Amino acid sequence: MEKLTITPQTGKQLGRLLFHDEIAYLTYSASEIGFYYSGERIFADIITDEWRNDKMQQGWVGVFVNQDSEPWKRFALETEEAEYLIFDREEYARFCGISPGELPREISIRIAKFSEMAFGMCGIRYLLVDDKETLRPLPKRKKKIEFIGDSITCGYGIEGVWNVDVFNTPQENPYKNYALRTAKALEADYQLVSWSGIGLITDWIPPERETPDETVLIPQIYPYTAYTLSKKLEIEPELWNVSRFKPDLVVIHLGTNDDSYTREKPEREQAFVQAYKKLYDTVRKNYGDVQIVCCLGLMVRTLCPVIANMVQELQQAGDPRVHYLEFDGQKPEDGIASDWHPSETTHKKAAEKLTEFCRELLDI
């Protein structure tokens, strides 16, 4: 077999991949590399970090084959470096209940990060492919959507149950969340910039605390490809090259964690709005007249009118391409996921609402 180093030109890449020292890092949730392959087997040599020692917070990777909606493989990164079997034609054929000869010669394969940026570094040193085999990129879709969010956008706890499970990366699944369901329904490529517990002016804080937690905030990480990962690697954070992904629409789903601090206090809400407008300005600077949808409401609702009023002000100031969409709050009858996060059913309902809202904006 031959070693193939992944470069920015290898396959189709979704998400903000970081390339350093000939290693391709899958960074935020649902970042991935996709390609067509005609060989028999593929291995990926993947490195990870100290989170490998904590089974609740290891990095997780999934492999999608052809049009399968569920990953063929989904595995934890349990060692500092290892070669993982990504695809085996005979094994996959048995999985499908058919003979290898019944599979198409050319197979589409996507290597995807299931765990979020905060846990489990995922760096692909190389792929091992059959001799003389090449990787052909998967086709790009006509539309592109960028999602900026927090734990909800990461798919936090979506496979867990409230009061039974606590957060763990084995139960984190961005491919079941509202964002990727919306992108799939709209036949759009996607990019997630999301981090659990994050906000615009504070991370989540407990009720007894009165000061914001500014450990990791969206304004800090959004301008960079992978700010926190770069710090871990002890390299200068790379400014994200916006030409690598030019979305037709940007969805901002923030405020859930800021709500833990603002608590309907006007001066705190004003600070939140100021930070939100700065993010809005950055998106406008990056992407011009892109459609922007500001969402909230699944878990908390006190900042919903604050965001709605802000969007109305922006519209009145002359921007008809910024919008507000309020999600319905999660309901016990739809299930509650780990740590009181939205269940898969709630994510499905949110995706249906967002999809219909965005369909008109994208004229599809």
pLDDT at 364: 78
CB environment 121-158: b (16+ within 10 A), e (fewer): bbbbbbbbbeeeeebeebeebebbbbbbbbbbbbbbbb
Q: Is the pLDDT of residue 106 over 90?
A: yes
- Report the alpha-carbon distance of residue 313 to residue 76 in Å, rounded: 46
pLDDT at 300: 96
Q: Where are the alpha helices (DSSP H) in 99-196?
A: 151-154, 178-185
Residues 6+ apart with CB under 8 A from 17: 8, 24, 25, 26, 27, 31, 33, 225
Q: Max CA-CA distance within the chain?
A: 67
pLDDT at 249: 98
What's the mean pLDDT in 167-189? Answer: 97
pLDDT at 54: 95
| Neighbouring-strand partners of residue 23 | 20
pLDDT at 363: 87
What is each CA distance from 310 to 103, 120, 256, 275, 285, in whole angstroms? 53, 36, 16, 11, 18
* CATH level 3 topology of 143-361: Rossmann fold (3.40.50)
Model pLDDT for residues 192-250, shown as the tens digit of each residue: 999 999 999 999 999 999 999 999 999 999 999 999 999 999 999 999 999 999 999 99
Residues 6+ apart with CB under 8 A from 200: 217, 218, 219, 254, 255, 258, 272, 275, 276, 279
What is each CA distance from 141 to 31, 144, 170, 364, in whole angstroms? 16, 7, 29, 13
Pick the closest to residue 349 from 182, 143, 159 (CA basis): 182
Residues 6+ apart with CB under 8 A from 190: 14, 30, 144, 145, 146, 147, 179, 180, 183
pLDDT at 56: 95
- The pTM of this model reads 0.97
Identify residue 109 by its one-letter amino acid code.
Answer: I
- Report the alpha-carbon distance of residue 60 to residue 308 in Å, rounded: 36
Model pLDDT for residues 107-163, shown as the tens digit of each residue: 999 999 999 999 999 999 999 999 999 999 999 999 999 999 999 999 999 999 999
pLDDT at 188: 98
| Neighbouring-strand partners of residue 32 | 14, 112
Question: pLDDT over 70 for what percent of the chain?
Answer: 100
pLDDT at 178: 98
CB environment 331-356: b (16+ within 10 A), e (fewer): eeeeebbbeebbbbebbbbbbebbbe
pLDDT at 91: 96
**CA neighbours within 13 Å on the CB side: how many for 233?**
22
**What tokens were used for 119?**
């846990």
For residue 277, the surrounding DSSP H or E stretch is helix 266-287
Q: State the Cα angle at 207 between 202 and 211, rounded to 5°.
A: 40
What's the mean pLDDT in 51-67? Answer: 96
pLDDT at 257: 98
Instruction: Classify the C-alpha dihedral 328-331-337-338 as positive or negative.
Output: positive
pLDDT at 20: 98
Class of CATH domain 2-137: mainly beta
Model pLDDT for residues 5-24, shown as the tens digit of each residue: 999 999 999 999 999 999 99
Burial of residue 11 (CB within 10 Å: 0-12, 13-18, 19+) is buried
Query: What are the residue ranges spanned by the domains of the chain?
Result: 2-137, 143-361
Question: pLDDT over 90 for what percent of the chain?
Answer: 98
Q: Name the average pLDDT for the chain.
A: 97
